[in-house]
Structure 1
Amino acid sequence: MRSEPGSRVGDSGGEVAERVRQVIGAAGVSQREFARRIVMDPSKLSRSLSGVRRFTVAELARIADTADVDARWLLGSRTDASAKSPAVRRDRTAAVAAPEGGRPLQIVRETVRLIAERGFHAVRVADIAEACATSTAAVHYHFPGRDELLKAAVRWCMDEDTARRAARIADAGDAADELRKLIELQTPYTEQQRWQWSVWLDLWAEAARSTAVGRLHIAYYRQWRATVADVLRRGVGQGVFRPTTDPDADALRLTALIDGLATQVLAAAPGAGTGTSPEDMQAALVAYVDATLSVPRPFPKD
Structure 2
Amino acid sequence: MQPDPASRVGDTGGEVAARVRKVIATAGVSQREFARRNVMDPSKLSRSLSGTRRFTVAELARIADTTDVDAAWLLGTRTEAAARPSAVRRDRASAAGAPQGGRPLQIVRETVRLIAERGFHAVRVADIAEACGTSTAAIHYHFPGRDELLEAAVRWCVDEDSARRANHIADADGAADELRRLIELRTPYTRLRRWQWSIWLDLWAEAARSTAVGRLHIEHGRQWRATVADVLRRGVGQGVFRPTTDPDADALRLTALIDGLAAQVLAAAPGSGAGTSPDAMRTALLAYVDATLAVHRPSPED
Cross-structure match for 2:4: 4
Q: Could you tell me how far apart the structure 2 residues matched to 1:199 and 1:235 are? A: 31
Q: Higher mean Cα deviation, 209-218 or 168-177?
A: 209-218
The Cα of 1:211 is off from its aligned counterpart by 1.9
The answer (yes or no) to whether the contact 1:116–1:198 under 8 Å persists in 2 is yes
Alpha-carbon distance change, 88 to 250 in structure 1, aligned in 2, over 3 angstroms: farther
Q: Could you tell me how far apart the structure 2 residues matched to 1:153 and 1:45 are? A: 17
Q: Could you tell me how far apart the structure 1 residues matched to 2:67 and 2:123 are? A: 28
Alpha-carbon distance change, 89 to 205 in structure 1, aligned in 2, over 3 angstroms: farther
Q: Residue deviations 1:240-298, cap 9 Å, x none?
A: 11111111111110000000000000111112222110000000000001111111122
Cross-structure match for 2:72: 72
State the one-letter code of the partner of 1:176: A
Cross-structure match for 2:215: 215
The answer (yes or no) to whether the contact 1:68–1:90 under 8 Å persists in 2 is no
The answer (yes or no) to whether the contact 1:114–1:123 under 8 Å persists in 2 is yes
- Name the TM-score, length of structure 1 as normaliser: 0.96
Q: Could you tell me how far apart the structure 1 residues matched to 2:12 and 2:87 are? A: 26
The Cα of 1:301 is off from its aligned counterpart by 2.8
Q: Could you tell me how far apart the structure 1 residues matched to 2:254 and 2:102 are? A: 37
Cross-structure match for 1:127: 127
Cross-structure match for 1:21: 21
Unaligned runs of 5+ in 1: none
The answer (yes or no) to whether the contact 2:154–2:213 under 8 Å persists in 1 is yes
Alpha-carbon distance change, 38 to 27 in structure 1, aligned in 2, over 3 angstroms: same
Q: Residue deviations 1:70-104, cap 9 Å, x none?
A: 00111121126343x6x878935564111011100
The answer (yes or no) to whether the contact 1:68–1:89 under 8 Å persists in 2 is no
Tell me how large the CA RMSD over aligned residues is: 1.7
Q: Could you tell me how far apart the structure 2 residues matched to 1:286 and 1:166 are? A: 20
Q: SS at 2:288's partner residue?
A: helix
Cross-structure match for 1:116: 116
State the one-letter code of the partner of 2:68: D
Unaligned runs of 5+ in 2: none
The Cα of 1:300 is off from its aligned counterpart by 4.5
State the one-letter code of the partner of 1:145: G
Q: SS at 2:157's partner residue?
A: helix
The answer (yes or no) to whether the contact 1:70–1:89 under 8 Å persists in 2 is no
State the one-letter code of the partner of 1:159: D
Q: Residue deviations 1:91-138, cap 9 Å, x none?
A: 355641110111000000000000000000000000000000000000
The answer (yes or no) to whether the contact 2:73–2:80 under 8 Å persists in 1 is no
State the one-letter code of the partner of 1:193: R
Percentage of pairs with the same residue: 81
Of 86, 89, 93, which residue of structure 2 is paired with 1:91?
Answer: 89
Q: Could you tell me how far apart the structure 2 residues matched to 1:210 and 1:82 are? A: 41
Query: Structure 1 stretches (4+) deviating beyond 2 angstroms?
Result: 79-83, 87-95, 299-302
Cross-structure match for 2:150: 150
Cross-structure match for 1:271: 271
Are 1:48 and 2:48 counterparts?
yes
Q: Could you tell me how far apart the structure 2 residues matched to 1:57 and 1:81 are? A: 21
Cross-structure match for 1:294: 294
State the one-letter code of the partner of 2:39: V
Q: SS at 1:91's partner residue?
A: helix
The count of corresponding residues between Structure 1 and Structure 2 is 300
Are 1:59 and 2:74 counterparts?
no
* Matching of residues 253-272 of structure 1 within 5 Å: 253-272=253-272
The answer (yes or no) to whether the contact 1:240–1:295 under 8 Å persists in 2 is yes
